[in-house]
């Protein structure tokens, strides 16, 4: 008997405060001079102390109350400016409103506003209110900030709804995940305890603040702790990945995070040489999560930065999602030669994880199955999405994540998404495994490769979409790719499709979206895919 695939992180740790509003007020009192720094693409920066953040949030609160909002009302946050977004977020917490940050994508505000029954919204500076929505605007951020501070805060409860977060969504309007104060604070307290985080940490986030990783896992956690935090624009880092390391060095960052693709971008940039005098000895905790992990990418990152003093135990692969209030497992990276997947740790206090078979039976340890999660960190469902909520939870209250994984001893390993499986010659692979192998050849630009099964007139086949590093794919390079697929995976006859970077769809934090490419391929004549890629 191998034992059953069930992990329990233990009882939740009681947070020091009952609500997020209480957390900000406590931090402003205890660490009021500590700074939140916002970097800009032009090389400048602005900064707020926690005392200033509380004062500005109280000003926004006063303006919101003038527009007759009631506690519990949803308020859309329509601003791409990080400082405006976090200030409006905290104003909502102080007033008992429920913020719903809307990513900066064309048409999304109107979609979300319609689906969620025309709530009021805050318009960022310089934004234009869509036609027909004007009566529902609370005013621009600048207008709201012009009010005198309102020191009277709504007295909420831990079980109150604190935040709605949109999932990535492959098609249509994304779902809105419901997170309570208890969800967020339980997760925050647990990770602070397990990873020994406190107000002395100096953190860096460059993912969008409308995403659970940027807003909850980092900004809200760091505000709860009173830590020094830096936020950099995502495009600025993506256009120059080594700026991530520059910022770590300059601000003496101890804690940062990114999905795995970001480490691949740094590895690629380092091959051209940096010449930078980085001192990375300060960086002791790097959270790697948000998409499938690649051991080779992690190893190359750690090896490449070792000469700059990066501690060899600084990398922490982890797992979580919006529905779990962000990351709820992590552990130090350990290389296991020959192992297909990277372990992501054990659940933190307040979270339980189990693996079940296709028929819902609890699996044995070391058996790959469906990852399910329960506990105080887990959402109770989707806002105005009763059908989706019912489909996502088991009769005994476990959330079905859509991930596959296994439990070995006390450690969870996530192998990939259930809908990412590719069965070829009787062997099951995940798309990310094939993508990693393609990018190892240094033919494809890192982070712009998608492997997906496709249905053709000849039956099922594998399609690999990639952006050639040199702008076009030569016959020799295509032959090399075919040879690698045959030797490593036993795959012959795969469709290799050079495309432009703009042809590879991604989520707001840069994760690959495979389904749209498959749908486009199956609905479009293949001849339209064969020319040299468009876009940069």
Give tens-digit pLDDT for 354-382.
999 999 999 999 999 999 999 999 999 99
Report pLDDT for 533. 40
Give the residue among 498, 415, 496, 511 at the shortest CA–CA distance from 462: 496
**3-class DSSP assignment, residue 22:** helix
Give tens-digit pLDDT for 85-113.
999 999 999 999 999 999 988 788 888 99
**Residues in a beta bridge with 404:** 370, 416
431 or 69: which leads in pLDDT: 431
Report pLDDT for 172. 56
CA dist 107 and 267 (Å) reads 35
Is the distance from CB of 341 to CB of 414 less than 8 angstroms?
A: yes
Maximum distance among all Cα pairs of the chain, rounded to whole angstroms: 69
What value does the mean pLDDT of the chain take?
A: 92
Token pair belonging to 72? 């519990």
Residue 397 CB: number of other CB atoms within 10 A?
11
Question: What average pLDDT does range 452-473 have in this prediction?
Answer: 85
201 or 420: which leads in pLDDT: 201
180 has a pLDDT exceeding 50: yes
Report pLDDT for 213. 96
Question: Domains, the chain, ranges and CATH?
Answer: 425-529 (3.30.300.30)
Is the distance from CB of 53 to CB of 90 less than 8 angstroms?
A: yes
Query: What predicted TM-score, i.e. pTM, was given to this entire model?
Result: 0.92
Q: Output helix, strand, coil percentages for the chain, rounded to the nearest 5.
A: 35, 25, 40
Report pLDDT for 534. 37
Question: What average pLDDT does range 411-438 have in this prediction?
Answer: 87
Provide CB contacts within 8 A for 345, sequence distance 6+.
Answer: 316, 317, 318, 319, 329, 330, 331, 411, 412
């Amino acid at each position: 008997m191998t034992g059953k695939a069930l992990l329990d992180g233990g009882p939740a740790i009681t947070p020091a405060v009952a609500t997020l509003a209480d957390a900000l007020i406590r931090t402003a009192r205890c660490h009021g001079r500590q700074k939140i720094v916002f970097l800009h693409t032009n090389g400048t920066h602005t900064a707020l102390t926690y005392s200033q953040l509380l004062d500005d949030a109280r000003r926004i609160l006063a303006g919101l109350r003038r527009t007759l909002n009631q506690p519990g009302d949803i308020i859309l946050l329509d601003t791409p400016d990080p400082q405006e977004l976090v200030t409006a977020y905290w104003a909502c917490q102080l007033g008992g409103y429920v913020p719903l940050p809307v990513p900066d994508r064309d048409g999304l505000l109107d979609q979300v506003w319609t689906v969620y029954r025309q709530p009021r919204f805050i318009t960022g500076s310089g934004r234009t209110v869509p036609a027909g929505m004007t009566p529902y605007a609370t005013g621009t951020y600048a207008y709201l900030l012009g009010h005198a501070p309102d020191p009277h805060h709504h007295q909420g409860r831990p079980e109150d709804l604190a935040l709605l977060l949109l999932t990535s969504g492959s098609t249509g309007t994304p779902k809105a995940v419901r997170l309570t104060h208890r969800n967020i604070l339980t997760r925050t307290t647990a990770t602070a305890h397990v990873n020994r985080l406190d107000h002395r940490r100096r953190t860096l986030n460059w993912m969008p603040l409308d995403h659970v990783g940027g807003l909850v896992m980092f900004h809200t956690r760091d505000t709860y702790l009173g830590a020094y935090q830096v936020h950099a624009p995502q495009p600025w880092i993506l256009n120059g990945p080594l700026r991530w390391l520059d910022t770590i060095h300059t601000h003496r960052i101890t804690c940062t995070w990114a999905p795995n693709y970001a480490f691949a971008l740094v590895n690629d940039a380092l091959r051209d040489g940096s010449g930078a005098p980085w001192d990375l000895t300060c960086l002791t905790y790097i959270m790697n999560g948000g998409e499938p992990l690649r051991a080779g990418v992690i190893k190359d990152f750690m090896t490449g930065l070792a000469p700059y003093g990066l501690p060899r135990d600084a990398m922490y692969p982890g797992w979580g999602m919006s529905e779990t209030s962000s990351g709820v497992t992590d552990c130090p990276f350990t290389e296991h030669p020959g192992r297909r997947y990277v372990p992501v740790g054990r659940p933190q206090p307040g979270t339980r994880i189990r693996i079940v078979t296709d028929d819902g039976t609890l699996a044995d340890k070391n058996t790959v199955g469906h990852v399910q999660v329960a506990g105080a960190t887990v959402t109770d469902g989707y806002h105005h999405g009763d059908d989706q909520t019912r489909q996502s939870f088991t009769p005994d209250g476990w959330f079905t994540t859509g991930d596959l994984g296994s439990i070995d001893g006390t450690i969870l390993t996530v192998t990939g998404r259930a809908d990412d499986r590719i069965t070829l010659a009787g062997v099951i692979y995940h798309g990310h495994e094939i993508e990693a192998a393609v990018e190892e050849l240094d033919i494809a630009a890192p982070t712009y490769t998608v492997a997906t099964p496709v249905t053709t007139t000849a039956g099922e086949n594998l399609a690999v979409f990639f952006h050639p590093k040199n702008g076009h794919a030569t016959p020799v390079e295509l032959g090399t790719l075919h040879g690698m697929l045959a030797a490593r995976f036993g795959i012959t006859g795969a469709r290799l499709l050079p495309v432009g970077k703009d042809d590879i769809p991604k989520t707001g934090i840069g994760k690959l979206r495979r389904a749209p490419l498959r749908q486009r391929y199956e609905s479009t004549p293949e001849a339209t895919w064969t020319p040299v890629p468009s876009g940069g």
